[in-house]
């Protein structure tokens, strides 16, 4: 009869130990297929353990398919083909790494266009979260509609109306965990067989996302007013993905005449749509925000998309899109089976944050902060003895500007030299899909995430490199 | 000269009003293309407003491309092709709807397999969130790696080891906002040209997601041990998506012999992989959880996927997958440009929730709750005079069981009659991709979200319907 010593059972319970031992015997063929196991009572007596312990072990073995029971007969061993079993019980040791080592660069970073790190109003956010927990606990466990909780969609709609002059029906808004996720929903909505068009130069991630989704796309050259209409026509693209209010990285604002041309292009075919990515429209330093393309679209051709990850903090993942009515109907039909990707907690907290005026205040404060940041950086640059070797472009908006430098180095050499000196740089040429020689030696100066105390050092390093 | 009355400017500032009026004149062709505008000083004097106001309006019009400036000459009107403009200023009125109306059913619901609504430990979660806010504010603004913050991945790895006996390197874990999102990452990782295989019957959303992603898939019949190997071979599929520890909706546990056969199938080609969806393995009522397929896979063929949305509350969107090393390397190369879709707040809160033992306690409490729920429901069913007309199957695990009923009604009629009587029902036949007559008249009784006080009423209604 099966005999096991329970001395080495370690922290396992008796039944777990017995269960593991029998598995070992089955996998090592010491118990043959269809061999009959001792009865529960007999084995219990033999091993001096309780019948319940054996019963638990046998039940677990039945549940997992190692043994089977025949009514009124007993338990038998199953036929198992591949006798390799991981019976490991010691905890595996994984290389211990700290969180920081994943992002080890600790010099001055002008390449990353992240939000200022310490700007997020934690105390307000915590207060609102606590209020939401207290006041909304009922609603917090009710599934959000696929498009997001209505309260947040209404808050976004009101915000868009008041600060962006846009009419956005809350029922046409879709909330999601980041614009990247929303892009993938748009691809599913419009169809993978469509031909997409992107700006060249343009934000690299957008091309990466289309590529990862196996969607064919064309890169349309950008002139001083935005994407070139003739190139767009020639590309035979269906869907145009643009940032007309503040193009990244050039900072170009598409003027209203080009906007109407783009809308006319879209209206020429029922298949055509424009994705308007309005990611940092909040941070215009002078005058009103540029009106969105969506607000002058009367044919339901514009999908408006924006994010709170840029304007609040990149570690909060909430974005949204405003769909034309027709596409919203299609979304409801085809894609509303998807659960909303943002948790209710954060949806209600953000909703309170907007409703109670904190978002507006935050944006105003951040706009001032970034303007100040830019001004300080500019004045440091202008003071530098080598200022004559650089030329600044597009400094009116957003979280970066362009700096054309007079240097014998290639763009690659610039970046590498920067790396050696402890300053991370990025060049406009890196954002071109098709290579263009026109914009060589142009650095993109992302100042939004640069700590105030590093500005002087950053400028010093910058001029050492060029 | 341009003359505007500022009487009707409403809440607009002077400069905004002037800016809008000039746009109206341009779009109505009252100002012709290339017409020169009055100088800032002249217009200011004419309208009795300050030069700065005119300057602001002109600057905004230049920024948006309505007018252009010629150095040392003045401002001119741009040529704009499509003179349709939305100058709307009144807030649009959207139909007012309450949150509830999106999910208006208020009878007894046995069709939805949601978590119990009031079971989520709010006070603990709030406490931890507050702690995270206080202790981690530094880390909260540091971007999470694409795969999720390391602290959470380590907590998940430890949990999987302790409670699931699995070895999962934290560096092979990817955290995302829901399993649906992770499925889309898997498709991008393995490739859209691959042929996928799903269980038939099976969880409907999975097929919907593959369809929405234009991925071709085959439905493999499920016998009493899980997917049929011969049908799987014949399908020529590359990737198999299964729930071997608790199949939905039949509740089948795939025995270890079939598991090895599945692994052998996967090992036959480098293109083959198995997606193991372990969505409710925590809720086995007797014995240990069934070991995962991942834990007996030695060839790097299994992608393990699980979610906290099922075990905690569906309104928290955090899921994760464990990738084989080779696929993790591919992920890092091809997909790590994606930002993590879960906010840092929730990642650190969940991490503390697991580390401090609350998750284990919660699972244990919920397992008891669901067991109790099932026992109460079963005893009510057994007490019913018409009990002889039903047959219960698969009641050992998960949050539902099957009930075969002896009825002259078709499945569609059963559901419709239920709807009329105020009980929402679902049938096994609805989960088949290819129609099978074998499993007609089998209801799926989802009891997890059923309020305790509704159980008696639910059973009464159930027997009225059949």
DSSP A286-343: SSSPPPPSGGG--SS-EEEEEEHHHHT-TTS--EEEE--HHHHHHHHHHTTTSPPSS-
Of A137, A180, A256, the CB nearest to B338: A180
| For the ranges A3-12, B120-129, B236-245, the one whose mean pLDDT is highest | B236-245
Lowest mean pLDDT among A397-411, B152-166, B177-191: A397-411
Strand B442-446 to strand B400-405: parallel, antiparallel, or no bridges (unpaired)? Answer: antiparallel
Q: Average of pLDDT values for A438-460?
A: 88
pLDDT higher at B72 or A168: A168
Among the listed residues B220, B262, B270, the one whose alpha carbon sits nearest the alpha carbon of residue A80: B262
> How close is the nearest chain A Cα to the Cα of B443, in Å?
22
Q: Please tell me the distance from the alpha carbon of residue A134 to that of residue A124, in angstroms, as a whole number.
A: 15
pLDDT of residue A229: 96
Per the listing, tokens 């002077």 go with B14
B78 — contact with chain A (CB < 8 Å)?
A: yes
> Is the Cβ pair A150, B315 closer than 8 Å?
no
Domains A108-118+361-465 and A123-356 share a fold: no
The domain spans of chain A are 14-77, 108-118+361-465, 123-356
Question: Percent of chain A scored above 90 by pLDDT?
Answer: 53
First to last CA, chain B: 83
> Is the Cβ pair A149, B99 closer than 8 Å?
yes
> Is the Cβ pair B313, A256 closer than 8 Å?
no
pLDDT of residue B163: 83
pLDDT tens readout for residues B344-380: 999 999 999 999 999 999 988 888 888 888 899 999 9
B19 — contact with chain A (CB < 8 Å)?
A: yes
> Is the Cβ pair A84, B140 closer than 8 Å?
no
Query: Nearest chain A Cα to B93, which residue?
Result: A169
pLDDT tens readout for residues A66-104: 888 888 889 999 887 654 444 444 566 665 554 444 445
Q: Answer whether residue A210 shows pLDDT above 90.
A: yes
Question: Percent of chain A scored above 70 by pLDDT?
Answer: 91
The dihedral built from the CA positions of residue B116, B118, B124 and B127, taken in this order, carries a sign that is positive
Query: Nearest chain B Cα to A167, which residue?
Result: B92
Query: Nearest chain A Cα to B312, which residue?
Result: A141
- List all residues of chain B from 364 to 423 with a beta carbon under 8 Å from chain A: 396
pLDDT tens readout for residues B89-111: 456 666 555 444 444 566 788 88
pLDDT tens readout for residues B12-51: 888 888 988 898 888 877 888 888 999 999 999 988 899 9
List the single best residue of B16, B294, B315, B316 to mutate versus A (max A Cβ within 10 A). Answer: B315
Lowest mean pLDDT among A371-375, B146-150, B240-244, B325-329: A371-375
Could you tell me which CATH class the domain B14-77 is placed in?
mainly alpha
pLDDT of residue B107: 79
> Is the Cβ pair A212, B335 closer than 8 Å?
yes
Q: Answer whether residue B452 shows pLDDT above 90.
A: no
pLDDT of residue B93: 65
A157 — contact with chain B (CB < 8 Å)?
A: yes
- List all residues of chain A from 253 to 272 with a beta carbon under 8 Å from chain B: 253-261, 263-264
Residue A1 pLDDT grade (very low, low, confident, very high; cuts 50, 70, 90): confident
The long-range contacts involving A14-18, CB below 8 angstroms and separated by at least 24 positions, are A14/A49, A14/A53, A15/A53, A15/A54, A15/A56, A15/A57, A15/A60, A16/A57, A16/B288, A18/A47, A18/A49, A18/A53, A18/A54, A18/A57
pLDDT higher at B131 or B284: B131
B67 — contact with chain A (CB < 8 Å)?
A: no
> How close is the nearest chain B Cα to the Cα of A408, in Å?
32
Query: Nearest chain B Cα to A130, which residue?
Result: B126
pLDDT of residue B106: 64
Residues of B in Cβ contact (< 8 Å) with A188: 212-213
Residues of A in Cβ contact (< 8 Å) with B133: 122, 125-126, 129
Q: What would the two tokens of residue B283 be? A: 């809720």
pLDDT tens readout for residues A345-362: 999 999 999 999 999 999
> Is the Cβ pair A150, B102 closer than 8 Å?
yes
Residue B286 pLDDT grade (very low, low, confident, very high; cuts 50, 70, 90): low
Burial letters A341-380, b for 16+ CB under 10 A, else e: bbbbbbbbbbbbbbbeebbeebbeebeeebeebbebbbeb
Among the listed residues B12, B320, B6, B14, the one whose alpha carbon sits nearest the alpha carbon of residue B148: B320
pLDDT of residue B397: 61
Q: Average of pLDDT values for B194-222?
A: 93
User: Which of 3.30.360.10, 3.40.50.1110, 2.40.10.330, 3.40.640.10 would CATH assign to domain A123-356?
Assistant: 3.40.640.10
> Is the Cβ pair A314, B114 closer than 8 Å?
no
Burial letters A78-96, b for 16+ CB under 10 A, else e: bebebeebeeeeeeeebee
Could you tell me which CATH class the domain A108-118+361-465 is placed in?
alpha beta
Residues of B in Cβ contact (< 8 Å) with A345: 315-316, 346
């Amino acid at each position: 009869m099966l005999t096991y010593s329970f001395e080495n059972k370690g922290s396992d319970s008796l039944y777990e130990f017995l269960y593991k031992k029998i598995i070992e015997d089955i996998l090592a063929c010491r118990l043959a297929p269809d061999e009959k196991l001792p009865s529960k009572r007999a084995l219990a007596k033999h091993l001096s353990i309780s019948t319940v312990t054996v019963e638990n072990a046998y039940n677990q073995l039945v549940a997992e398919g190692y043994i089977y029971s025949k009514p009124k007969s007993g338990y038998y061993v199953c036929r198992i083909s591949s006798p390799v079993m991981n019976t490991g019980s010691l905890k595996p040791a994984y290389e211990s790494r700290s969180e920081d080592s994943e992002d080890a660069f600790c010099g001055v970073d002008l390449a990353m266009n992240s939000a200022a790190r310490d700007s997020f109003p934690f105390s307000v956010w915590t207060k609102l979260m606590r209020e939401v927990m207290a006041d909304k606990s009922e609603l917090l466990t009710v599934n959000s509609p696929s498009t997001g909780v209505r309260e947040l969609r209404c808050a976004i709609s009101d915000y868009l109306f008041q600060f962006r002059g846009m009419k956005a029906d809350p029922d046409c808004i879709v909330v999601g965990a980041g614009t990247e996720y929303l892009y993938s929903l748009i691809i599913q909505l419009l169809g993978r067989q469509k031909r997409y068009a992107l700006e060249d130069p343009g934000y690299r991630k957008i091309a990466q996302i289309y590529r990862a989704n196996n969607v064919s796309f064309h890169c349309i050259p950008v002139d001083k007013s935005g994407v070139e209409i003739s190139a767009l026509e020639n590309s035979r693209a269906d869907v145009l993905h643009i940032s007309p209010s503040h193009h990244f990285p050039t900072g170009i604002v598409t003027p209203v005449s080009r906007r109407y041309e783009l809308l006319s292009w879209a209206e020429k075919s029922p298949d055509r749509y424009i994705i308007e990515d309005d990611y940092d429209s909040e941070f215009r330093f002078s005058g009103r925000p540029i009106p969105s393309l969506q607000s002058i679209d009367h044919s339901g051709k514009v999908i408006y998309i924006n994010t709170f990850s840029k304007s609040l903090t990149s570690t909060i993942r909430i974005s949204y899109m405003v769909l034309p009515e027709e596409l919203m109907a299609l979304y409801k039909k085809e894609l509303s089976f998807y659960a909303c990707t943002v948790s209710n907690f954060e949806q209600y907290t953000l909703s309170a944050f907007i409703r109670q005026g904190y978002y507006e205040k935050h944006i105003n404060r951040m706009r001032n902060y970034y303007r100040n940041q830019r001004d300080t950086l500019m004045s440091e640059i202008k003071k530098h003895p080598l200022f004559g070797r650089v030329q600044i472009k597009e400094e009116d908006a957003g979280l970066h500007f362009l700096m054309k430098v007079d240097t014998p180095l290639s763009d690659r050499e610039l970046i590498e030299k920067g790396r050696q000196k402890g300053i991370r740089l990025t060049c406009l040429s890196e954002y071109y899909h098709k290579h263009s020689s026109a914009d060589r030696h142009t650095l993109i100066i992302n100042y939004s995430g640069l700590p105030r105390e590093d500005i002087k050092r950053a400028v010093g390093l910058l001029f050492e490199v060029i």
